[in-house]
Chain A
Amino acid sequence: MAGRPKTILSRIAQALPVVVGVVIVTFLLTRALPGDPAVYFAGPSADQNSIAEVRAALGLDKPLPEQFILYVGQLLHGDLGQSISTGQPVAVELARRLPASLELTLLALLLSCSVAVPLGVLAATRPGSWVDHLCRVLVTAGVSLPTFFTGLALIYLFYYLLGLAPTPIGRLDFLYLEPERVTGFFLIDAALAGDWETWLGALRQIILPAITLGLFTLAPISRITRASMLQALSSDYVRTARAAGLTGRTVVYRYAFQNALLPVLTTLGMVFSFSLGANVLVEKVFAWPGIGSYAVDALVVSDYAAVQGFVLAMALLFVALNLAIDIAYTLVDPRIGFEKR
């Protein structure tokens, strides 16, 4: 037990070089802009003098290591630069839009886990049955699905043909007022305010994009659940438990399932990375006002500060999530140590 805080601390220490690496890469990406950024930021009507002024103002006349220190200093103050297209600080915009993306991603993961985990368990406990075949088809077909295409297909089916879904624009129909902002998650905020009509409206908007994203993550989760369940079921302790005369139910759920969950937890980190990427595409399809669609809009008008801020924010989010998963892992299973990799 005494080793646990030490394990967690060493895991946090391991994350630091990664964060440094992420910041260096993002810095290099900002400085690799095509052409001279000073000319770009100075605008089309700039002359030689104003370009030099902008260059000095941006610190671009200094050597690269010094620029890097300046950049890190700005980051530590939470300054990601100004967006050219909206005129707002990038950090403010990202913070305002982040809850929308997180709400979508988390609901999608929740949906896909609640389908994929039972599916994987059933497929592993009944090899060769129709559940097993269904699982295999889903796994192969699922990774072949382009998210943006699934989204469009769902819109066509549920909006155009069946008329069940609302117009795919944004988080809430114009009919409703946004709930008072507490967490930024509309479903939670509306529930807190007791406004169930708005809650239903928000749910109707989020359900299609969440299913789209969920379908994308279904395949890897059910694949790993099935594989790790199969491994757990063929292990010695399960054989011993069976030999000791425990019921099939107890063996499967108390012994095999709990041990099989650990690899699933690890895979969730990888799946989360994929969903953050796929999020961008889903947000574009459903006009979802999250940070992904912000980045896409910024890309179209070559708003580099916004794009790089987005890339950095996503990477830091991902590092933090992996850290959280690993720490949760040590809490669940004390055997895990991170010293030897």
Chain B
Amino acid sequence: MTDLAVDRPAPRPSALRHVAYVLRSNPLTLIAFLLLALLLVAALFGPAIAPYDPYASDAPAALQPPSWSHWFGTDNLGRDVFSRVLVASRLDLAISVSAVALSFVMGSVLGAAAGYWGGWTDRLTSRMLDTIMAFPLFVLAMGIVSALGNTVENVVYATAIINVPFYARLVRAEVNIRREAGFALAARLSGNADWRVLALHIFPNALPPMMVQVSLNLGWAILNAAGLSFIGLGVRPPTAEWGIMVAEGANYIVSGEWWMAVFPGAALMLAVFTFNLLGDGLRDMVDPRLRT
């Protein structure tokens, strides 16, 4: 996904030049790719490069402000905040990536079926999606997690479900306008089954806008998951996760120990910011007219 625009076989010889042009005219996209690399490094190698054990409490060193030995200070149990923030990136990214992947798949199947066959399939699917969208989404996620049980997997499912409508509607629209297109008819005439035409000929056309949606959605999924764990759903202490770390730090902010909440919060913001920038950048590459 990250190197979508770079690795895609160029449809026109100018595609690469177009990417280069967009990157040059909007250096923020380049920054976004660099930040993404930083996040990936933290997620992949976090536990290996963390200077301290993120779960080892050290009572005498509790609540120390940031210093050379503890860059981000220590929390109320004397755990190193920097190590915890670093290690947490893997869990936070894993939750949001798996949630977005799930809603990508569910949304693609539902949207493609609705757009291709129309009729009852379409009406039923659209009604279902409308119903999901009728809820304030974060509230629906709260309800789902509380009904299914308070676990990390259920946070993933809830986040996936509330994002399905965005993907399904996108795919439905993209598939619908190409259902009767020449290349689709040709594929059908040469004896391909419906699902084959749909999956191999029509659906790939929906991928570029889907990638933009994925990127914008990833940031939102991180926020959503962190919000859920902030109110005590999903991830539980002592697990290192950004939302729960902010929640733990919240109790100390009124007495001035800001570092416990600020650093995980900043990491969270950085991650969301990265994905949003990336999404905007990808959109400029995919469809410059949509730029706002």
Contacts and interface: CB of A to CB of B under 8 A. Distances in A.
Interface of A: 17-18, 21-22, 24-26, 29-30, 32-34, 140-141, 143-149, 152-153, 155-156, 159-160, 167-168, 223, 226-227, 230, 273-274, 276-278, 280-281, 284-285, 295-296, 299-300, 302, 304, 307-308, 310-311, 314-315, 318-319
Consensus secondary structure, chain A interface: helix
Nearest to A341: B126
Interface of B: 127-128, 130-132, 134-140, 142-144, 146-149, 219, 223, 226-227, 230-233, 243, 246-247, 249-250, 253-256, 258, 261-262, 265, 268-269, 272-273, 276-277, 280, 292
A168 to B, nearest CB: 7
Contacts, number: 153
B230 A281 contact: yes
Contacts of A30: 147
Nearest to B249: A152
A149 B253 CA distance: 11
Given A277-B139, A278-B138, A280-B138, A149 B246 contact: yes
Contact of B231 (A149, A159, A299, A304): A299
Contact of B127 (A17, A145, A310): A17
Which of A32, A146, A153, A302 has the most C-beta atoms of chain B within 10 angstroms of its own C-beta? A146
Given A274-B136, A277-B138, A29 B280 contact: no
A148 B146 CA distance: 20
A22 B134 contact: yes
Contacts of A153: 262, 265
B227 A311 contact: no
A296 B143 contact: no
Contact of B146 (A24, A156, A273, A304): A304
A291 B31 CA distance: 41
B147 A304 contact: yes
A280 B134 contact: no
30 contacts: A18-B130, A21-B130, A22-B134, A24-B131, A32-B147, A143-B219, A143-B272, A144-B269, A144-B273, A144-B276, A146-B268, A148-B230, A149-B246, A149-B268, A152-B249, A160-B258, A168-B254, A273-B136, A280-B139, A281-B227, A295-B139, A299-B232, A307-B142, A308-B143, A308-B147, A310-B139, A314-B136, A315-B134, A318-B135, A318-B136
A308 B145 CA distance: 11
B44 to A, nearest CB: 23
Q: Which 9 A-B pairs have the closest CB atoms?
A: A277-B138, A21-B131, A149-B265, A311-B143, A276-B136, A144-B273, A144-B272, A29-B147, A34-B149
